[in-house]
Amino acid sequence: MGTGADPARGAVSHHRRRRFDVRVVPHRRRSPLRLRDWRMRTKLAAVLVIPSVAFLVLAGVQTRALVGQTTALSDFAEQVGIGREIAVVVHRLQQERDRSAGELAALRRDGSGPRRDEATAALAPLHRATDQAIVDLRRAAEPLADADASWRVAYSEVLEAYEQVVSIRATVPPAVLNSDTILSNYHRAVDALLNLLAEPTPGPDHPALSDAVLRYVQLARVKELSSRIRSQLYAAARGGGYGPEGQVVLSDLRAQQLTALGAFRVAATSEQIRRYDQTTLDPAFVDAARMEERTLPVGETVPVVLPAEQWWSASEGRQELLRQTEAGVLEDAVAQADEVSSRQLRDTLLVVGGIVAVLLVAVLISVLIGRSLARSMRLLRSQALRIAQVELPEALDRLRTVTGGVPEISVAPAVVRSLDEMGELAEAFVAVHRSAVSVAVEQALMRRNVNAMFVNLARRSQVLVERQLELLDELEREESSPDQLENLFKLDHLAARMRRNDESLLVLAGTESTRRWQRPVGLNTMLLAAAAEIEQYPRVRHESVADLHVVGHVVGELVHLFAELLENATAFSRPDTLVSVSAREEESGAVIEIVDRGLGMSPSALTQANEVLATPPAADVAAVERMGLFVVSHLASRLGVRVRLHGGEDGLVAVIRLPADLLAPAPPVSEEPPPRMVTAGPAAAVDLPVAGRPPVAVPRQARPVPVRAEDVLAPAASVPSGGGGWWSRQGPSTPVQAGPPAPPAAPVIGGTSARGLPVRVPMAQLAAVTRSARPEPAPAARHDPDPAAVGGMLSRLYGGVRRAEAEDTTEIPVPPLGGGHSEEGRQ
- Per mean pLDDT, which of 232-236, 301-305, 470-474 is the most reliable? 232-236
CB 537 within 8 A of CB 507: no
Please report the pLDDT score of residue 186 as a whole number.
92
Please report the pLDDT score of residue 403 as a whole number.
62
What is the C-alpha separation between 630 and 628, in angstroms, rounded? 5
Report, as an integer, the average pLDDT of 292-315: 84
What is the C-alpha separation between 393 and 618, in angstroms, rounded? 13
**pLDDT tier for residue 30 given thresholds of 50, 70 and 90:** low
Please report the pLDDT score of residue 758 as a whole number.
60
Q: Which of 87, 327, 333 is nearest to 213 (CA)?
A: 333
CA-atom Rg of the chain in angstroms: 64
Please report the pLDDT score of residue 778 as a whole number.
47
pLDDT in tens, 66-89: 888 888 888 888 888 899 999 999
* Strands 579-586 and 589-595, sheet pairing: antiparallel
Report, as an integer, the average pLDDT of 521-545: 88
Q: Please state, as a whole number, how many other Cβ atoms lie within 10 Å of the Cβ of residue 771.
A: 27
**pLDDT tier for residue 33 given thresholds of 50, 70 and 90:** low
Q: Is the pLDDT of residue 769 over 50?
A: no
> How many residues does this entry show for the chain?
827
Long-range contacts at 23-28 (CB < 8 A, ≥ 24 apart): 24/385
Report, as an integer, the average pLDDT of 168-175: 87
What is the C-alpha separation between 58 and 46, in angstroms, rounded? 18
Ranking 383-387, 480-484, 769-773 by mean pLDDT, the lowest is: 769-773
pLDDT in tens, 547-590: 889 998 888 889 989 998 998 888 888 888 999 999 999 888 89
Q: Give helix 179-197 / helix 149-168 axis angle, nearest 10°.
A: 160
Q: Is the pLDDT of residue 305 over 60?
A: yes
Please report the pLDDT score of residue 785 as a whole number.
52
CB 250 within 8 A of CB 233: yes
Percent of the residues in the chain that have a pLDDT greater than 70, as a whole number: 74
pLDDT in tens, 102-136: 888 888 887 677 888 888 898 999 999 999 999 99
Main-chain phi, psi angles of 379, to 5 degrees: -65, -40
Please name each of the domains of the chain with its CATH number: 82-293+308-338 (no CATH), 456-602+638-806 (3.30.565.10)
Report, as an integer, the average pLDDT of 204-231: 90
CB 506 within 8 A of CB 513: yes
Please report the pLDDT score of residue 656 as a whole number.
93
Asked whether the whole model's pTM tops 0.85, one would answer no
What is the C-alpha separation between 490 and 45, in angstroms, rounded? 81
Percent of the residues in the chain that have a pLDDT greater than 90, as a whole number: 21
What would you measure as the largest C-alpha separation in the chain, in angstroms? 192
CA 278-282-286 angle, to 5 degrees, is 120
Please report the pLDDT score of residue 469 as a whole number.
83
What is the C-alpha separation between 522 and 546, in angstroms, rounded? 9
Report, as an integer, the average pLDDT of 586-613: 88
**pLDDT tier for residue 95 given thresholds of 50, 70 and 90:** very high
Number of H helices, E strands in the chain: 20, 10
